[in-house]
Chain A
Amino acid sequence: MKRILCVPFDPVHDVGIKLIRNTLAERGHLTELLPPDLSMEEIVKKAAASTYDYILISRTLGYGVAELLARFNDLLDAAGVRKTAKIVIGGKPITPELAAELGFDQGFGEHSSIDDIVAYIEGSAANRTTIQQQRIKPDITSQYFYSFRHKRIGELLDVIADKTLRWAEGKTTAGIERSQIREELLATTDPTRKKQLNDRYASLCDPLIADANTKKIFPRGIRYITDNEIEHLKLMLRQKQPTNQSSIRHHQRQPLIFKFLGSGCPIMDILHAKICERYGVDGFLIVNPSWEARYEGLIHGMLTHENDGTITSGENIALMREALHSATLLTVRAHRGLNTPETTLLAAHAGADLTKINLVYGSLGAGTDPERLTVDGIHAIKIAAQHSMPFDIPGNDELSGVPAAKSLAGLLINVMLGKKLCAKSILKPLFCYGPHIILNGQMKQNFVDYNTAKIRALRSIVDAPIWPGEPIAFMTQTEERVQSANETAFHAALAASTGVDAITIASTDEAYSRGPITIASRIDSIRAVTDAFRFVGDASLSPTSATDSFTDDLVKNIQLTLEDVVRYNSLPEAINAGALGSKEDGAYPGTFGKGTVLNSK
């Protein structure tokens, strides 16, 4: 048992010292708490009147307070208090270094816990399990059964998915063959067979990609990461550990937080990711360069790239996976372009947890020919299923001007395809101020009602996880830092209110398109969301009655869209006809890979 004097050496703030006093008293120590706002002389007189083992002083720092505390220490010394008692200072801006500088025996600051103080006084090690140690990898899909609550919509999706799967039967592409070659390459050790496979792979690639893989002639701005760089990175990651680990989520029911990685350089991405992990980010999405979508074939190896998007070679994904905490989720974008099956395969083999596939958005908003992406996408979903890797379905076609109902209908088609192919999927409706919404005024009054309606509509249709993105608050953010952080935070609070499973958040420089995202801007938005989650806690934002009519409209229009889609023989036919987004909406079927679907028989 120790004798402890607790001193709120502050005109107002004494909550912290009261909490500490209560804990110490509960643990059997003899404690006394002085009233706040005593003069320095009165405190010294009281401290000298009895014998104490510890004098705990609580103080916030302001102008001139450092000098005041130094003088206080001198007075305690002169009164002989320090002969028996250790003098401890605590307060938000206090660090051990500052405490020592001011002459105190110990200091506790913002990141100290009451356990730390108890451990110091009792001379024991603090019982602190770090948040990092506690982390368990979440499974976003585990609580869902993918049953369709809306009978008619479920029936329509069933027919659309069956028609599409039948249409794709017997069809193949160079993308599928490359994924099969890659799979064999990953398994074989025979050098002769490897050579044969690599030669065949190169023959299925565009010359730019084949030259990079065989002659090491890379497109401008791409180079191998050197062994020296890898060695330095690994050494740095071994040397540095997160301190004062924090959590974004105020409670475990709040959505998981994802961020994009795609600076171009895996080393830069990894360092950003490690810092974001410290602040509580739960997962990352690797975003590849947009040009990768246009070429047949992928460049292999550990590669860095001067421009937007990190090359999703198996080696790069594996490097990033290895550097991340084992509980951090990693998803790899595969939803567009001519390499969807191989990217999904590489993601699975490199240890990614999720991949990103959307046959509709990849065709309508991301440039790939609908026929090609449907054949490739179905194969990719099969690969995902084989590796028990769920796929998330981004609804970013809304940004092209596609009405939300059509975009959501597209997501649901992917869910049904996944269900039929035994793959689990995650719905990603946008929380955005999209062109169709701007033109039609659904968000004229607020950003709450229509975003909430999207969630309610999807929930009324299917039992599946929901992860708004991508990122939330798209088209509401500007290049002004606080405005951007606020929009992210408000939308995050709304997401938490609606009980969704995860969200993707932007950085405060996301709207700035002339350079890469910086780590400081990532931290800005993480801090904003952390505060938003603390603010909303287990309460919720209340939408107005307009949400009900928005929800009804969305469900009705999703059904109407699907009634239209079902008239066509296949999904590509429906996409080309504009059933899931027309030229008038601003959506154009893509052309990458047009005419490249082959009959496998």
Chain B
Amino acid sequence: MSALNNVIDAVDVETYLLCNDAHDGHRLALQLGNEMNLGNVDIMFEEYDGYGVRVRIRKYIHRPAQKYHWLESESQ
């Protein structure tokens, strides 16, 4: 069973990406989500500082009113 089934709502990933400019940082943050098999992620926060970008990206696994996999697996 996938551990993602037990994520109550979302996965946040925070990191620092070395990059050339804010645009490059933004692109890398989105690419990171894909490379981590999270698919399309939201960029919650990004701040380019001349060296790279501090980012917080988020992927919702279970949104309100959807079928919650954890509800079934955790009540078995």
Residues of A within 8 A of B12 (CB): 481, 518, 520-521
Docked complex Cα distance between A509 and B60 (Å): 13
Is A232 within 8 A of B71, CB to CB? Answer: yes
A306 to B62, CA, bound (A): 11
In the complex, whether B75 has a CB less than 8 A from a CB of chain A is yes
Name B's A-contacting residues (CB within 8 A): 8-10, 12, 14, 42, 44-45, 47, 54, 56, 58, 60, 62-66, 68, 71-72, 74-75
Kindly identify which residue among B45, B54, B64, B72 contacts A304, using a CB–CB cutoff of 8 Å: B64
B44 touches A479 (CB 8 A): yes
- Do residues A236 and B74 form an inter-chain contact, with CB atoms below 8 A? yes
Total cross-chain contacts (CB, 8 A): 79
Q: Which residues of A contact B63 (CB under 8 A)?
A: 306, 515-516
Task: Say whether A125 faces chain B, with CB atoms less than 8 Å apart.
Answer: no
Q: Does A223 contact B (CB under 8 A)?
A: yes
**Are A480's CB and B9's CB within 8 A?**
no
Q: A307-B64, A479-B44, A518-B12 are in contact. List 16 more A-B contacts (CB 8 A).
A: A221-B65, A229-B71, A232-B71, A236-B71, A240-B74, A267-B68, A268-B62, A271-B8, A305-B64, A305-B65, A478-B45, A479-B56, A512-B45, A512-B58, A515-B10, A521-B12
Determine if A264 is an interface residue (Cβ-Cβ < 8 Å). yes
Q: Give, as a whole number of angstroms, the nearest-CB distance from A594 to chain B.
A: 32
Tell me whether A235 is interfacial, beta carbon within 8 Å. Answer: yes
Which partner residue on chain A sits nearest B56 by CB separation?
A: A481
Give the residues from 251 to 277 in chain A that come closer than 8 angstroms, CB to CB, to chain B.
263-265, 267-268, 271-272
**Judging by beta carbons under 8 Å apart, are A232 and B72 in contact?**
yes
A500 at the interface (CB under 8 A from B): no
| A222: B residues at CB distance < 8 A | 65
A233 on interface, CB distance cutoff 8 Å: yes
Nearest A residue (CB) for B10: A518
Q: Are B64 and A236 in contact (CB under 8 A)?
A: no
| The residue from A235, A480, A515, A516 contacting B45, defined by CB atoms under 8 A apart | A480
> Which of B56, B58, B64 touches A306 (beta carbons < 8 Å)?
B64
Chain B residues with CB under 8 Å of A272's CB are 8
Note all chain A residues with C-beta closer than 8 A to B58. 509, 512, 515, 518
Judge whether B64 and A263 touch: CB under 8 Å: yes
Q: Which of B9, B64, B66 gathers the greatest number of chain A CB atoms within 10 Å?
A: B64
CB of B64 within 8 A of CB of A265, answer yes
Return the contact of B71 from the options A233, A305, A520 (Cβ within 8 A): A233
> Are B44 and A239 in contact (CB-based, < 8 A)?
no
Interface positions, chain A 208-256, Cβ under 8 Å from B, are: 221-223, 229, 231-233, 235-236, 239-240
8 Å CB contact of B60 from A264, A515, A519 = A515
Complex: how many Å from CA A223 to CA B67?
Answer: 12
Q: How far is the CA of A235 from the CA of B76 in the complex (A)?
A: 8
> Do residues A516 and B9 form an inter-chain contact, with CB atoms below 8 A?
yes
A263 CA to B65 CA in the complex, in Å? Answer: 9
Is A518 within 8 A of B75, CB to CB?
no
Query: In whole angstroms, how far apart are the Cα atoms of A271 and B75 in the complex?
Result: 13
State whether the Cβ of A514 lies closer than 8 Å to any Cβ in chain B: yes
Would A306 and B45 count as touching, CB distance under 8 A? no
Q: Note all chain A residues with C-beta closer than 8 A to B42.
A: 512, 514-515
Asked whether A306 lies within 8 Å of B65 as measured between CB atoms, the reply is yes
In this complex, which of B8, B44, B54, B60 has the most chain A Cβ atoms within 10 angstroms of its Cβ? Answer: B44
B75 contacts A516, C-beta separation under 8 Å: no
